[in-house]
Amino acid sequence: MRPEDLRFLSGIILVSRDPARLVAFYRDVLGLPLHEEDHGDSEPHWACELGDVHFAIHPAADYPGEPTEAGAVKLAFMVFDLDGFVVWLAERGVELCYPPVEFGTSSRITAVHDPDGNLVELTQLGASWLDHLRTNRATGGDLVTHWTVRADGEAASGG
C-alpha cells in the first residue's frame, strides 16, 4: 500500500547540452532569479526558488546515461501582465508560438520555445484560477502548512 499520495512538486530540473545558453534565456529574457550553485558533487549549475518549487538548469554531464533530448519538456509560468511581457519578448527577438488567446473564462495564454526547444507557456491567470488556488490551500494544498502539521503530529506521537 502506498504510504501517501504525492501532493507537492519539489523541483524542476532542466538538463541541457548548452546550459549557459539556456540560463541566459531563463534569467535574462524571462527574468527567473537564477544564480550559480556548486555543491561539490556535481558540475556548477544554476537554480532558484519559484514559489515552493526549486527550479534548476544542469549540464548534461551531471546526468550521464540519462536522455537529454531537447524539446521534451513543457513548462508554464504565471505572468501578471501578459501584454507587457509579449512586448518585452518581441523587443528581444523572441517569437511567440501563437498570439495570446483566451484560456478558460478569465485567463490568457501564449507560448515561446526556449533555446533547447522546450515549450514555455506564459499564462495570465484570472480570478477563477486564483480562487481555485485559495480553496486548494485551505484544504491542505499549502506545502508549508502541510509540513508543519505533519511535523507537529510526529512530534506529538513521539516519532
- The predicted model gives 18-45 an average pLDDT of 91
Question: What local confidence, expressed as pLDDT, does residue 20 receive?
Answer: 95
Burial class (CB in 10 A: 0-12, 13-18, 19+), 62: middle
Name which CATH class applies to 1-68.
alpha beta
The phi and psi torsions of 82 (rounded to 5 degrees) equal -65, -45
Question: What local confidence, expressed as pLDDT, does residue 114 receive?
Answer: 95
First to last CA, the chain: 20
- The predicted model gives 3-7 an average pLDDT of 79
Instruction: State the amino acid at position 19 in one-letter form.
Output: P
Distances (CA, A) of 28 to 45, 59, 64: 16, 18, 28
- The C-alpha cell at 2 is 502506498
Please state the pTM of the whole predicted model. Answer: 0.84
Return the domain boundaries, the chain: 1-68
pLDDT of 35 strictly over 70: yes
What is the tens place of the pLDDT at every residue in 57-107?
Answer: 999 888 888 877 777 789 999 999 999 999 999 999 999 999 999 988 889
